[in-house]
Homo-oligomer: A and B are copies of this chain.
């Protein structure tokens, strides 16, 4: 990999879209529209700088950004650069201080592009890190929460002229509930600038170099497609993953409840898995999988459902009867496998009364 800081190249945006969507584990929203937004900026000749976390001074202040809300709404009310930068400006006004750089709260899904949109509007460099190493549905599931850092101030903006700053919060859950209500009032889509982080906090508590990892992963998938190799196999190799099941979608149950897309996916086995049945439950993201009724994988292992031919990730909102898919597991960042991490994102945090047993027992937590 080239050393940082460096300018992101145009084809890397394509790789990032593919890789980030795989790391979304079914959620995080399709990167498609945000990717096009950044591409247009590149077509006009501008370039975005990626910097390594080690480039940050200890007291540099970094904006941690996201689009939040209902992924289906994202597809109609797309986030552009002006919308993405709005809460960053509101936060700078609130702090009376400027940011040195910008990073995403989650590399999985469309939020991989959120700091790039902010960079397009502001000229700030993008830090090669995030706070999840994937996508998760709630704010308190990020590494900064698991590390016990404070969760305020937190800015939430709509696309018109409304900005809310959560100036203090009594806890991550309380902050999450308030901003969720504000987001709903804003039309179920909002951009955020989360609690500012120092260079020291990022180097110690972020999930590091995840944009580069997503780009590398996407690049390998694209290479395999071009070489007529198996892109699913390429993903497994590039991300040290494991094939869990190959089959056909025979049923999808979906409910939009409490601002989340919850449901289950049923697969009938094909090829080596013929005769077996596989179920995966999701809350925006895939959280737990059963093979013939026995738990076989749970969060924080990444459970990804990929198109068996193209290797493209399939979002939980896009699953449908008849799709041929391969389910793979990718190893979790180490922080989510710690006792504190499991309390925030383990199977019990999603209501399943089972212990976490990684499908990567020997290499558990090896990714970060």
Q: List residues of chain A with CB under 8 Å of any chain B CB.
A: 90, 93-94, 96, 155, 158, 160-170, 174-175, 177-178, 181-182, 184-186
Chain B residues contacting A178 (CB-CB under 8 Å) are 162, 164, 182, 185-186
CB distance from A263 to the nearest CB of B (A): 26
CB distance from A243 to the nearest CB of B (A): 43
A74-B165 Cα distance, complex, nearest whole Å: 25
Q: Specify which of A93, A168, A178, A186 lies most central, judged by the most chain B CB atoms within 10 Å of its CB.
A: A168
Are A167 and B165 in contact (CB-based, < 8 A)? yes
Specify the chain B residue showing the minimal Cβ separation from A153. Answer: B165
Are B174 and A162 in contact (CB-based, < 8 A)? yes
Chain B residues contacting A181 (CB-CB under 8 Å) are 181-182, 184-185
Are A163 and B155 in contact (CB-based, < 8 A)? no
CB distance from A176 to the nearest CB of B (A): 10
Query: 9 tightest CB-CB pairs across the interface, nearest first?
Result: A161-B170, A163-B168, A163-B167, A181-B181, A165-B165, A160-B170, A181-B185, A165-B167, A178-B185
A94-B164 Cα distance, complex, nearest whole Å: 12
A177-B169 Cα distance, complex, nearest whole Å: 20
Chain B residues contacting A184 (CB-CB under 8 Å) are 181
**Which one of B161, B177, B185 contacts A177 once the chains associate, using CB atoms below 8 Å?**
B185
Are B94 and A94 in contact (CB-based, < 8 A)? yes
CB distance from A86 to the nearest CB of B (A): 9
**Which one of B96, B155, B162, B164 contacts A170 once the chains associate, using CB atoms below 8 Å?**
B162
A174-B185 Cα distance, complex, nearest whole Å: 9
Chain B residues contacting A167 (CB-CB under 8 Å) are 90, 93-94, 155, 163-165
Are B96 and A168 in contact (CB-based, < 8 A)? no
CB distance from A345 to the nearest CB of B (A): 23
A5-B86 Cα distance, complex, nearest whole Å: 44
